[in-house]
Structure 1
Amino acid sequence: LFFLAKRINFDLRTRLICFQWKSLDLCIHLTNLLRIFPQLPKDLPFLKRVNQNPKKPTTQFDLSLAIRFENCMEATALSSGLRPLPNPNGYRLPRSCSQRKSLPLARFHSKETPFKKPQGSLAITHHRGLSFKTNVFEQAHHPVAGDLSYDDTSRSNVAEDKIGVLLLNLGGPETLNDVQPFLYNLFADPDIIRLPRPFQFLQGAIAKFISVVRAPKSKEGYAAIGGGSPLRKITDEQADAIRLALQAKNVSADVYVGMRYWFPFTEEAVQQIKKDKITRLVVLPLYPQYSISTTGSSVRVLQDLFRKDPYLARVPVAIIESWYQRRGYVNSMADLIQKELQTFSDPKEVMVFFSAHGVPVSYVENSGDPYQKQMEECIDLIMEELKSRGVQNNHILAYQSRVGPVQWLKPYTDEVLVDLGKHGVKSLLAVPVSFVSEHIETLEEIDMEYRELALESGIENWGRVPALGLTPSFITDLADAVIESLPSAEAMVNPSAGVSEDSESSDAFGYIMKMFFGSVLAFLLLLSPKMFHAFRNHLI
């Protein structure tokens, strides 16, 4: 619009820049939602002219921050020496702006705009996703809580800190009506469905389509286990158990639960953490092995929330990214397996069948996801512990829960079960190694679908190791992990740091794509009948 305005007469140019239309406002919100609103180039003439008057010190414009389109265009007009006209939108313009060619752009930020400059210069990324019950996923700026004071002296001694522990987990629908919106949140996560950069604006539409298509079958699964996932209830119980275990070790801490795709969301937990004025935080994802799609996704959301808040940005945080190698976890898994083997008539002939949640092969080969390597190391550690106890059973690892046409980690659980039956395996003990709580993938997928498939394939004796849940040795080990990580806590975001290197706004290709799609959308809206009518009645 600015370049178009340069080719029309003086008054029309000024009106075009200063007048705001509802259709244009819609364009702004759409482009912001699709993350295609372009960052302005640093070599635009009107930005160079801001400091022409040395007697009038001006505030430098930080291009790393998202700004409202109308504020930028208004500042452009005034910086170009255009006289202002009365505007219907209540902009507070200086009376003498027509005589001033050098004006501080910072003065033209509307008081109503949600885009406020945080402490330091930070790369603000948008979290894409959607909650059907709360509007915390599609906001460009998510207000966590009100301004709170922070006492820097609390960093000096861990004992003087107010300690918080945040448990991160997947989340699950609690009723059948929650299934479709839960699936939407799941597939709207760019760490679950990884689209090429030019097509990332289609994430929401693709998530909507998949969630609608998969919802009927998923509802059948949740109906079979009682109408909803028990994950939230079990995770809350684990949080209470960890808090008591920490108290027994003379560590007072508040324990919070943040779910990635359903209530209570991570955003809600962060609100409570700030409200409680936590001064030292340990983040404990309830995933033993690290993966981009589990721990990585949850931590990314957490980092975005902390980056946007000056108080949280200074809170020391320790993140336990993986803990599959901890002796307490390995011993707890070995205890459960050894106990369950004793239920078979001939324990030595039982095949120990480890079933882990799969991930696409591209995560490992193209994105460097360490999940497969850590999973294999985890199985080796558990089997070494069992062998030290005299348990010499054969074992195998397979991956379950694949979806879509892409290739996932192999071997697949269903194919391995059929193959084991063909090779004469008669007794099998299933071990859900990547799950620490019972949920649909253990209660329905393993206990029902895979058990039925195993029996049909010729396996006569079936057993399944329960998830760790509230196993005392497991809870104690998690409490020990929290205590051990406290001294290493440090601020997640450096307030004085500049824009992050991996910021999409610094990517030339990303900038070109944003400019292209933003231009196309703006052009289409300008051709709409309402916009044409507005131009004809008010500008010509």
Structure 2
Amino acid sequence: MKGVLMVNLGSPKSKEPKDVKTYLGEFLMDERVIDVPKVLRTILVKGIVLNTRPKKSAAAYAKIWWDEGSPLIVLSKRLKSGVDEQTSVPIALSMRYGQPDIQSGLQELHDKGVDEVLLIPLYPQFAMATTETIMVLAEELRQKHFPNMSFTTLPPFYNHPDYTTVLARSIGEKLDEFDYDHLLFSYHGIPERHIRKSDITKSHCKVDGSCCQTPSKAHQFCYRHQCFETTRLVAKMLNLKEGTFSTSFQSRLGFDPWLKPYTDRTVERLGIEGTKKLAVVSPAFVSDCLETLEEINMEAREIFEEAGGDDFKFIPCLNDREDWVKTLSRWIDEWAHQNKKAKVS
């Protein structure tokens, strides 16, 4: 019997510092998030970060927390509910960090008789710290607890026409309401070394101005290329003029080089250079979360206004839009009715 496990990032149990600390500990101790030797990672996370960051992060969560709970969890549940109503197979929802965890999601499917699972990492682009860590943990759990299950993983859908069409439509609807000067595509940042580690050719990715535009097998796992490609495809669909849009990366941590240009500095530069009306969208996420609701809609807005900008337009993620629910549901049903492995990319 076939079933689906949808997996998103996760969220603290509550906005209280103690729960934020627990969540950050699980998240940052993942070797694919902070990819340094365990001894160094332990010193950094448990010795420094968890003694300083939880209170600040809790204050940020408090700004965006809903009565129903964490926005990411609430929106993920709404998405799952919508898909569940339109598909013919059991659907379960899990988080990579926090609750409900991946093991409980697999157990839910197992209890319903599912032995063929379509894993859906809810990330359009591939990255070590998102898609890969979900796949690795799910496989570890399968081998340990569900040996009779088999997995198929939905490939990154950053360039899938169905996805880019829905994304472009969601952006276009907001731009029709806003006489913007510039549209910024702000993606979650990752360390530059992650790009090189994911390079299956071991030679292509230079993280410079040309490698992402040069055809290569490395692009299959190159987060940077996939982000720029999402921007390119959506900009083409929206008939955006060159110079009226750009790509940046947010949420860096530590002192190592992360993907550039940085969102905060880009927003500030645009304001200083005379951009008065700025729209920002975050296509690395399908559900609004701390990184979109607080970091973009609050922090980036403040930076832009202080730099001289007048109007700032936050464009929500796809969340549980009807057309996005229909798209995911169609992909699932196409897989469910195939006798061979899924081919949804």
Shorter-chain TM band? 0.7 to 0.9
Aligned to 1:351: 182
1:181 deviation in Å?
A: 0.2
Residue of structure 2 equivalent to 1:379: 231
The secondary structure found in structure 2 opposite 1:302 is helix
Which residue in the other structure is 2:324 paired with?
Answer: 474
| Cα-to-partner distance string for 1:23-60 (whole Å, 9 max, x where unaligned) | xxxxxxxxxxxxxxxxxxxxxxxxxxxxxxxxxxxxxx
Matched, 1:340 2:174: yes
> How many Å separate the matches in 2 of 1:316 and 1:267?
14
Point out which structure has higher relative CO (alpha carbons under 8 A, 6+ apart): 2
Distance 1:278 1:214 in 2: 40
Larger radius of gyration: 1
1:194 equivalenced with 2:194 (yes/no)? no
* Pairwise CA RMSD: 1.8
Task: Quote the residue 2:75 is aligned against.
Answer: 234
1:149-205 per-residue CA deviation (whole Å, 9 max, x = no partner) reads: xxxxxxxxxxxxx32110011100131141010000011100011114xxx245445
Structure 2 gap ranges (5+):
200-220
The answer to whether structure 1 residue 324 and structure 2 residue 163 are counterparts is no
Partner-residue secondary structure (3-state), 2:131: helix
One-letter amino acid of the structure 1 residue matched with residue 6 of structure 2: L
Q: Select 2:64's aligned residue among 211, 225, 229.
A: 225
Conserved 8 A contact 1:317-1:489: no
Correspondence 1:395 to 2:236 = no
1:48-98 residue CA offsets vs partner (Å, 9 max, x unmatched): xxxxxxxxxxxxxxxxxxxxxxxxxxxxxxxxxxxxxxxxxxxxxxxxxxx
Give the whole-Å Cα distance in 2 for the aligned partners of 1:461 and 1:201.
Answer: 46
- Displacement of 1:313 in angstroms is 3.3
TM, length-normalised to structure 1: 0.56
Write the distance in 1 (CA, Å) between the matches of 2:139 and 2:42: 22
Deviations 1:478-521 (A, max 9, x none): 1122233343439xxxxxxxxxxxxxxxxxxxxxxxxxxxxxxx
Equivalent in the alignment of 2:11: 172
Matches within 5 A, 1:72-471: 162-175=1-14, 176=16, 177-196=18-37, 200-201=38-39, 203-209=41-47, 210-226=49-65, 229-246=70-87, 252-309=88-145, 312-344=146-178, 347=179, 350-368=181-199, 369-387=221-239, 391-392=240-241, 394-471=244-321
Q: Is the 8 A contact 2:64 2:71 kept in 1?
A: no
SS of equivalent residue, structure 2 residue 22: helix
Give the corresponding residue for 1:32: none
The separation in 2 between residues aligned to 1:360 and 1:420, in whole angstroms, is 24
Are 1:483 and 2:321 matched, yes or no? no
SS at match of 1:308: helix
- State the SS of the aligned residue for 2:260: coil
Task: Note if contact 2:198-2:222 (Cα within 8 Å) is conserved in structure 1.
Answer: no
What is the alpha-carbon distance in structure 1 between the residues aligned to residue 229 and residue 63 of structure 2? 34
Alpha-carbon distance in structure 2 between the residues aligned to 1:215 and 1:315: 37
Question: CA offsets, 1:239-290, max 9 Å, x none?
Answer: 11111122xxxxx211111111100011111222222220321111110111
Secondary structure of 2:55's aligned partner: helix
Give the Å deviation of 1:433: 1.2
Distance between the aligned counterparts of 1:336 and 1:272, measured in 2? 33
Deviation digits for residues 448-504 of structure 1 (CA, Å, limit 9, x no counterpart): 1000000111111111111101111111111122233343439xxxxxxxxxxxxxx
Q: Which runs of 5+ in 1 are unaligned?
A: 1-161, 247-251, 491-540
Report the residue type matching 2:150 in the other structure: P
Kept after mapping to 1: 8 A contact 2:121/2:154: yes
Report sequence identity in percent. Answer: 30
Q: Is the 8 A contact 2:86 2:329 kept in 1?
A: yes
Contact 1:328–1:473 under 8 Å retained in 2: no
**Offset at 1:445?**
0.7
DSSP-derived class of the 2:65 partner: coil
Provide the secondary structure at the position in 1 that maps to 2:238. Answer: helix
In structure 2, what is the Cα distance between the partners aligned to 1:237 and 1:421? 36
Point out the structure with the larger strand share.
Answer: 2
Q: Residue 471 and residue 219 in structure 1: after superposition, are their counterparts in 2 closer, same or farther (change >3 A)?
A: same
* 2-structure distance, mates of 1:395, 1:193: 31
Structure 1 residues 202 and 392, CA, compared in 2 at 3 Å: closer, same or farther? closer
* Contact kept in structure 2, 1:341 and 1:350, CA below 8 Å: no
Matched-pair contact (CA < 8 Å) for 2:91–2:109: no
Conserved 8 A contact 1:187-1:211: no
Structure 1 residue 212: deviation in Å? 2.5
- The residue number in structure 2 matching 1:507 is none
Q: 1:385-429, CA deviations, whole angstroms, 9 ceiling, x for partnerless residues?
A: 111xxx547100000000111110000001111111222111111
Q: What is the aligned length?
A: 313
Alignment-mate amino acid for residue 193 of structure 1: I
Residue 85 of structure 1 aligns with which residue? none
3-state DSSP of counterpart to 1:294: helix
- SS of 1:455's equivalent? helix
| Separation of aligned partners in 1, 2:64 and 2:322 | 26
Amino acid at match of 2:315: V
CA distance in 2, matches of 1:269, 1:212: 31
